Amino acid sequence: METLESELTCPICLELFEDPLLLPCAHSLCFNCAHRILVSHCATNESVESITAFQCPTCRHVITLSQRGLDGLKRNVTLQNIIDRFQKASVSGPNSPSETRRERAFDANTMTSAEKVLCQFCDQDPAQDAVKTCVTCEVSYCDECLKATHPNKKPFTGHRLIEPIPDSHIRGLMCLEHEDEKQNLESNLTNLIKRNTELETLLAKLIQTCQHVEVNASRQEAKLTEECDLLIEIIQQRRQIIGTKIKEGKVMRLRKLAQQIANCKQCIERSASLISQAEHSLKENDHARFLQTAKNITERVSMATASSQVLIPEINLNDTFDTFALDFSREKKLLECLDYLTAPNPPTIREELCTASYDTITVHWTSDDEFSVVSYELQYTIFTGQANVVKLHHV
């Protein structure tokens, strides 16, 4: 845990990063620490906005600022999320034994039991023995002074307290920690940047793939519209041709029926005239005159009746269009099955019907795709004494 916390520590304030900035050199820095660096570069009556560059405290790389200043630098959101999760998962504070393990090891290697560290904050003479050394303040405190100067609240909770060591050892401890933290942080940041680069590459490929999907889908939709419009045009053309045939059949039937109607009307008119004369003759009271006209009218009526049977053909009252049989069931089935092309199912070999002789093989099969399959490729193997020969044959 202390190794992870050392990697998450700012090289300036020696505390966990707070609102870290991602510098172009791949190092990180607290926003407030970066602001303090700019303030330290300001001359008298000079504003922070006038500073356009500063050096990275870790690698001394010159960081050039834009017109937005520090706000123009990217926030290291990933590092901040790691710090937040570390703080939530941590069960000990910065002054826990795990935090001071390195300091105790340093103390054991560099100090002897005879050395004593006195409190540097006491007003007493002589000063009391120190119980803790604050690495952040670089001051050793006795128990009473430590409670007075480091209450349990921010920002003092972030100060690093270790076992008391002399002043000459504090700077060496801080240098060792700084180098270790620098190496660990650079290593982890390098891995993190590499991972982010890989994710950015993957993201670019995903975005490019989405664009290709959009373009290809638009092409397929245009192709579908074009093919469907072509089918509709063909159907409309066939509809017009068949409709013309139906109209021609209608005109022919109506012409024949009109001729028959005219003949019937003509016969009816002639018959009506004879009927009128016959009725008038039947009303004649003069027997002599009746006999003179009756015989003539009777002959005419008989001739008219006989001629009507000969001249008027049999009337055809068939008004159906049986000869125009429309059956689009097969075409409807094909239209209902419109879809992308798929590979047809392989045919089923009828082994019970297959035969073989010395140099002839007859293969029988059944297929559900007899209309869509033009030919099949039959692959068979000839077993010989020395080698097996594989052949292909189109059927």
Q: What is the pLDDT of residues 168-193, one digit of tens each?
A: 666 655 555 566 677 778 888 888 88
Residue 42 has a pLDDT of 79
Domain ranges of the chain: 4-90, 132-172, 220-337, 348-394
Q: How many residues does the chain have?
A: 395
Cα–Cα distance for residue pair 54/162, rounded to 1 Å = 33
Residue 1 CA, chain-centre distance (Å), reads 41
Mean pLDDT is highest, among 105-114, 236-245, 290-299, 323-332, for: 236-245
The answer to whether residue 212 scores a pLDDT higher than 90 is yes
| 121-140 burial code (b ≥16 CB/10 A, e <16) | bbeeeebeebbbbbbbbebb
Q: How many CA atoms lie within 13 A of 274 on its CB side?
A: 18
Average pLDDT over residues 228-246: 92
| 299-318 burial code (b ≥16 CB/10 A, e <16) | eeeeeeeeebeeeeeeeeee
pLDDT tens digit string along 191-202?
888 888 899 999
DSSP 124-152: SSSPPBPSEEETTTTEEE-HHHHHHHS-S
Rg (CA), the chain: 56
Query: 28 and 75 in contact (C-beta within 8 Å)?
Result: no
Which residues, at least 6 apart from 81, have a Cβ–Cβ distance to it below 8 Å?
Answer: none
pLDDT band per the 50, 70, 90 thresholds, residue 3: low
Classify 9 as helix, strand or coil: strand
Angle at 215 between CA 213 and CA 219, to 5 degrees: 110
Lowest mean pLDDT among 77-91, 216-230, 300-314, 359-373: 300-314
Fold held by 4-90: Herpes Virus-1 (3.30.40)
pTM: 0.37
Average pLDDT over residues 154-175: 72
The answer to whether residue 163 scores a pLDDT higher than 90 is no
Q: Are strands 348-349 and 355-356 parallel, antiparallel or unpaired?
A: unpaired
